[in-house]
Structure 1
Amino acid sequence: MALRDEFSKLYRKRDWPALHSALDAAAPYDAEERCCVAYWRATALEAEDRCLEAIDVLTANRDDFSCKTMVHADIAENLRRLGRDLEAIDELSKAPMDEEMERYRALVVDAKYLLAHLLATNGLDVEPSLLDEIPENYIHITSRGKRITKADLLAMIPGKSPGCGCLQAR
């Protein structure tokens, strides 16, 4: 899709005014193109630390996205960046992860990781079944490029250190 290529190029350049102009000029004719425009606008707003605006864009356009879990996860990530972790957990709890796991496995695993990380960070219980669905070699890459492994996550949870066999025992 030509729109996606143009937006991606401008995003990589971090040319926010040009990207927003291109997004404003886009005339999406179907849900897929509306989704593309909404995705790139929300992604740019997040990169500009305009998290509330990114949440508004995602919320307003959530019906155009095929993977609803991704929208919930992106909203949750923006809430997390705003220091609103409990709201982020609530947002992720509404995501249809189980229903979308087969079709959008990678996106759902990312959302499950984010949920487990938020729960652990806030001292809340992380269900073993949630951890079991995250592959042992999983690496979460944040929007800022930071890499976090499942081992890093397990180290945050009392009694769940990597290699302890706690996941295999369930």
Structure 2
Amino acid sequence: MSKADMIRRARSAFREVLEAMEQPKSQLLQRDPAIKGLVENIVRRVEEARKPENWPVEEYPDEFAKYHPQDRYLWSWLLYHAAFVSDDLASILCILRGMGCELVEHPEYGYAIRPIIGGKGFESMERYNYVKEPLNALTGDLLPLLKQLRDEVRRGKVIPASEYRQGRLGER
């Protein structure tokens, strides 16, 4: 079943349940009184998830921004959104960035994570491959985020307008 089909079916079912809950002697709820309890559980869980103290984001600092500030807003966006997908994904990305990675535009994936070897970055490609190994199991979560990041950048929703500075021709 496609995501669109599931959403359509869920809307239809929730609409029917909500209408039934507004009627004093609903046939649907009399046939299956557990439906009301399931709805109450969903409402409680959503309300609990709305509380900031229950958000998955603890803190994923961009420790490498001082050495490679060009893509700091890209990493901020990626780390923030990754935390809502998976704590593991956000943690691994945070470690990779902190040890020396940059985000570069990629025609197929939106953005790609590229290690910086030497200097303040990874000491070797082997070390990078070792550190990124756990990320391989999470590519299904990461790839949609990288594409979404590209789309958001193109819409102008990642890099704040205050960071753009108009200069003069020939000025660096």
TM-score (norm 1): 0.27
Structure with higher RCO (Cα < 8 A, 6+ apart): 2
TM-score (norm 2): 0.26
Query: Greater Rg, structure 1 or structure 2?
Result: 2
